[in-house]
């Protein structure tokens, strides 16, 4: 049983880092296997930047995503572009302010104000990536919240650890509402 995830958006949104953290959550802490591919395309120029992760209890035979179980989109263009490869049973996570539900998509949607909350709560837009990961983990169980917490702490600077833990709590609270 494997799960295919794409975190899509543009450079500077922390989605490559998020993919790395999700991979560590799954492997180092949840003891599963994973393949993670990050495309920086034109990240440095503010272009599309996305990270794919396949997580499996068993061996991963084909290392590229084909049919997504989970799509996170921080930009409209990536939501419109990749919703086509989201399974019927898939879950779409989008930023509530920056992304509308793509036309003709009638699957499950989680629309949360990731970026607005990161800005208003922490004055740091990039932490939206951790809030989003947390909402994904909580809503889908693709990784355990406990594993995510450990991986996030492992990768956060000392002085930002509390903020990162709070970001995880916010992601969970979005789902509980």
The residues of the shown chain that bind a copy of itself, judged by CB under 8 A, are: 11, 16-17, 20, 23-24, 26-28, 31-45, 60, 63-64, 157-159
Q: Are 132 and 126 in contact (CB under 8 A)?
A: no
Report, in Å, the least distance between residue 150 CB and a copy of itself.
12
Tell me which residue has tokens 């990162």: 164
Please say which residue, 66 or 159, places its beta carbon nearer to a copy of itself.
Answer: 159
Q: Are 54 and 34 in contact (CB under 8 A)?
A: yes
Report, in Å, the least distance between residue 172 CB and a copy of itself.
25
Please say which residue, 104 or 157, places its beta carbon nearer to a copy of itself.
Answer: 157
- Integer CA distances (angstroms), 124 to 33, 107, 118, 119, in order: 32, 31, 6, 5
Please say which residue, 20 or 98, places its beta carbon nearer to a copy of itself.
Answer: 20
Angle at 138 between CA 75 and CA 95, to 5 degrees: 15
Report, in Å, the least distance between residue 97 CB and a copy of itself.
25
């Amino acid at each position: 049983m494997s799960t295919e995830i794409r975190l899509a958006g543009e450079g500077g949104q922390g989605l490559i880092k998020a993919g790395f953290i999700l991979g560590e959550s799954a492997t180092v802490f949840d003891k599963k296997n994973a393949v993670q591919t990050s495309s920086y395309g034109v990240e440095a120029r503010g272009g599309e930047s996305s990270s794919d992760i396949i997580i499996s209890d068993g061996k991963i035979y084909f290392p590229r995503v084909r049919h997504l179980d989970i799509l996170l989109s921080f930009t409209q263009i990536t939501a419109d572009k990749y919703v086509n490869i989201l399974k019927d049973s898939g879950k779409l996570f989008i930023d509530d302010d920056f992304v509308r539900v793509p036309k003709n998509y009638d699957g499950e949607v989680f629309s949360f104000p990731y970026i607005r909350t990161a800005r208003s709560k922490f004055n740091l837009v990039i932490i939206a990536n951790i809030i989003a990961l947390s909402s994904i983990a909580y809503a889908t169980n693709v990784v355990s919240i406990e594993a995510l917490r450990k991986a996030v702490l492992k990768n956060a600077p000392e002085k930002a650890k509390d903020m990162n833990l709070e970001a995880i709590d916010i992601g969970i609270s979005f789902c509980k509402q």
